[in-house]
Chain A
Amino acid sequence: MNKGKSFSLFHWLFLLCLFITHLSFSHVLADSHFEGFDAEDDDAVDEEPLDHHEIRPPPLTQSDSHPTPDPETQFNPDPNPVPTSDSPPQSDLQKPSTTTFEYWDEDEFEGLPVEQPPPEPPKVTENATPDDADPKTTSKPPKTAVSKKSFTVEIICGAFLIAFVINYFTGKRENENLALAWAAKFATKGSIFEKNFSLLGVGEGEDSPLLLKEGQTVFKFYASGRRYCQGLLATMELKSRHDLISRLFNLVVPCKDEISFEVYMNEEAMDQVVFAVAKKKAAKGMQKEVRDLQRFAGLVANPSGRKWVAEELSVISESKEVAGDLITEAVLEQVFGDRAFEKYGKDFISMHFSDQHPGTHKKMLLFKFGLPDANHMADMTRWVALVPYYIDLIGRFKLSSQARSKTEAARVKAAQEAYKELQNARQEALQKKKAERKKMLEEAEAKLSAEAVRKKEAKDRARQMKKAMPRMKMTRGH
């Protein structure tokens, strides 16, 4: 009974699926092979609760009909699926697999081989292997290529990282050695700074560390306890030797180790002086960019009838008098003269004295030199000696009354200008505020007015309505 019931149901479904396949075939005749399977697969899924053995036949008969696509068989489906129910599938299945071998598709037979009787699959897979192996072999090479490529990335990056770490330690050591060589040459017992300053080093007490390390490239040296000045701070800015990337970058854009001295002069020890010496190109830039030089000083032409600085250098000064007094014979002979500069000039960058230095401390002497390498520190002895020399020279220097009145006037003028600027800035800020407030008010008003217009319109409408209403009432009253 049960079997008969399911049978009739199956019969029904079979007809249905045949109808569907027929429909799909009529739509896509060219690709009939696939379409037929797809439709039946769907049906098979739908009928899962039913007996599998009895559902199988339809797809198989379908596949059988495909190799020899005959529209007749499609139009007249076999009303009795029973004869093709259990035994024929094997031979039927084999047929398509052998005859339509070229059309073999793995996806098409997904699920089917599982339900097939065990003796069947070997043949099918045997037939399929040549086709099956192909995609595998073609897909394998790219995989290996990918892994090879990725390995090159890892090898390069890993090697670079290791090189980076090694370079970090060696470069750090190099920088430290350079800084220590400088300190050993100029800040130990019997050296220039020891003779000129009573306190050396950044710490307190007798054996304080001479150098302060800030980051990996900046070293600071501090000295204090000398006449005319409060202190001296030397800052060494070395190349980024510890950093492999900047090191590579510096191969393209070379840079130098530099040391700059800042001398904080005593207030009463420095007269009104604005003065700078630098190489010609740099001097032009300084004159334009550094504020106090720009405001108070100008390039000074070489005076005739006097020994002057080397050709490559130019002097920026507030007045000729100051320049003439600060470029002394001794300095010309030692460093700035033609012959001396030829010999030692490579380490000189700039020199800048100012009593109007922007910042907290106004009276400052700034020196900037290049650092030679650790083994040739003695090369810059003359330049370092220039620092205490100029501290004394500036400390003793007094302007003549004539020049003094001039510089005084310039400073008063500058102060006034600064005051005016400040006032202007303040006023501008005030005006801006005012304008903003006004704008806000206007906006609010505009909003209000829009609302007012709306209200007025509403009122008008109401009035009109009212006007109309009484008449209505009147008519009603009638």
Chain B
Amino acid sequence: MSHNNNSASVNDPRQPSAAKPFVTQPVSPQDLPVDYSGFIAVVFGIAGVMFRYKLSSWLAIIFCAQSLANMRNVENDLKQISMAMMFAIMGLVTNYLGPARPGT
């Protein structure tokens, strides 16, 4: 069916003796793609806490979810995500359970 049969069918190309098991290359944390969503989540979280802005905290939670969904290196990313999550939740708690804003 395919052209490789011409060359491959001459003899079996397989060489079990030459087989090397798969070795996972350790990826250094620097080589991983930058976790933009985590960064955005932190920024939104801090903004939400600072300015008592609900939408910002909610956005932080959404970006936290994105960051969690895209997480590759568990122990490395979890720090940033947990921080962002903390800020986001703190912002929401102060927003909904905290003292009413004097402005509104």
Q: Which residues of A contact B (CB under 8 A)?
A: 142-143, 146, 150, 153-154, 157, 160-161, 164-165, 168, 192, 195-199, 201-204, 212, 214-216, 222, 224-227, 230-231, 233, 240, 242-246, 330-331, 333-334, 381-382, 385-386, 388-389, 392-393
Contacts and interface: CB of A to CB of B under 8 A. Distances in A.
Interface in B6-24: 6-8, 13-22, 24
A197 B3 contact: no
Chain B interface residue number, banded: 20 to 34
A393 B7 CA distance: 9
B66 A164 contact: yes
A389 B22 contact: no
A226 B61 contact: no
A153 B55 contact: yes
Decide if the interface of chain A is mainly helix, strand, loop or mixed: helix
24 contacts: A150-B54, A157-B58, A157-B61, A157-B62, A165-B65, A196-B8, A198-B15, A199-B19, A202-B22, A203-B22, A214-B72, A225-B15, A225-B20, A226-B13, A226-B14, A226-B15, A231-B22, A245-B37, A246-B66, A381-B1, A381-B2, A385-B3, A392-B4, A392-B13
Interface of B: 1-4, 6-8, 13-22, 24, 37, 54-55, 58-59, 61-63, 65-66, 69-72, 104
Contacts of A199: 16, 19-21
Given A334-B2, A385-B2, A164 B18 contact: no
Given A214-B72, A230-B18, A195 B8 contact: yes
Given A224-B20, A226-B13, A230-B20, A240 B70 contact: yes
Nearest to B33: A215
B11 to A, nearest CB: 9
A12 to B, nearest CB: 42
Contacts of A216: 69-70
Given A195-B14, A197-B14, A233-B22, 8 more contacts: A157-B58, A198-B14, A199-B21, A215-B72, A224-B19, A224-B21, A225-B20, A392-B8
A224 B18 contact: yes
B8 A388 contact: yes
A201 B19 CA distance: 11
B69 A168 contact: yes
Contacts of B63: 245
A222 B23 CA distance: 10
A158 B95 CA distance: 16
A225 B16 contact: yes
